[in-house]
Structure 1
Amino acid sequence: MIKVSILYPYRENGRFDVDYYCATHMPLAAKLFGPLLKGWSVDVGINAGPPGSPPPYVAAGHFLFESTNDFYTVFKPASEQLLADIPNYTDGGNGAILISEIKISV
């Protein structure tokens, strides 16, 4: 199982519409990815450890797939529509992508 994470760095005075991201963008991606997508979630940054410190990331979206090939298969045809939606929830650009292998799940 692999996880594709899109990490959106925190920027002071940056715009990130968490409600839009959770209610519109991520469900759109899930619909476009279809049955090869095994699950998705969103993390919203709170802080960097010490109370009151800004988080390193304002948000992270996560998608689960059986393999990287499954992700690449569904992302390529959906990428144009998903990338075009980014300005609807942030003024910070695309975010960084991390593809990781899940070793343990409970």
Structure 2
Amino acid sequence: MKLKLILSFFLLTTCFVSFSQDMPSGKSQNHDITATEKGLIKVSVMYPYAEGKTFNMEYYETKHMPMVAGFLGANLVKYTIEKGLSSGIPNQPLPFMAIGIFYVKSLSEYQAAIAPNRDAIRADFINYTNVVPVILVSEVVK
């Protein structure tokens, strides 16, 4: 069962199209997560697919994610936006319509930045989705 879950997760993550947004740092950074980014905190905001649920990717990409990124300030390293295409298992429904990911240096700074803005972030949901997101906070290990 555990192997099946790991395989399903691996297949799922390879079925997403990723749009990366590097944050300004004085020089261009067009790269994937590397060993120098080990230890970063990764905040994944996942929007599950369900019949009748909607998601406006244009609004999410141009309005919502930049708004949240602005709240995070210098703690934010970069963020990515992924659009779900299919399940990693044939003939299974799409598990997630979209995933937004923030890479930050400090979890406590992330929490401190989000706390006073939580209501504004949640109030903006109606502008792009009718889905309640699932949030996972993790640490980049490789």
TM-score, length basis structure 2: 0.68
Judge conservation of contact 1:32–1:74 (CA < 8 Å) in 2.
yes
Structure 1 position 73, deviation (Å): 1.3
**Any unmatched runs of 5+ in structure 1?**
none
Which of 1 and 2 has higher RCO (CA within 8 Å, sep 6+)? 1
Letter in 1 for 2:124: D
Q: Does 1:97 align with 2:139?
A: no
Identity of paired residues, percent? Answer: 35
After superposition, residues 1-106 of structure 1 pair within 5 angstroms as 1-50=40-89, 53-93=92-132, 95-104=133-142
Structure 1 position 78, deviation (Å): 1.6
| Stretches of 4+ aligned residues off by more than 6 angstroms | none
**Any unmatched runs of 5+ in structure 2?**
1-39
Q: RMSD value over aligned CA atoms?
A: 1.4
Judge conservation of contact 1:16–1:89 (CA < 8 Å) in 2.
yes
Structure 1 position 51, deviation (Å): 5.9
Alignment coverage as a number of residue pairs: 103
Superposed CA offset, 1:30-52 (max 9, x none): 11221111111111101012566
Distance in 1 between the 2:58 and 2:90 partners?
24
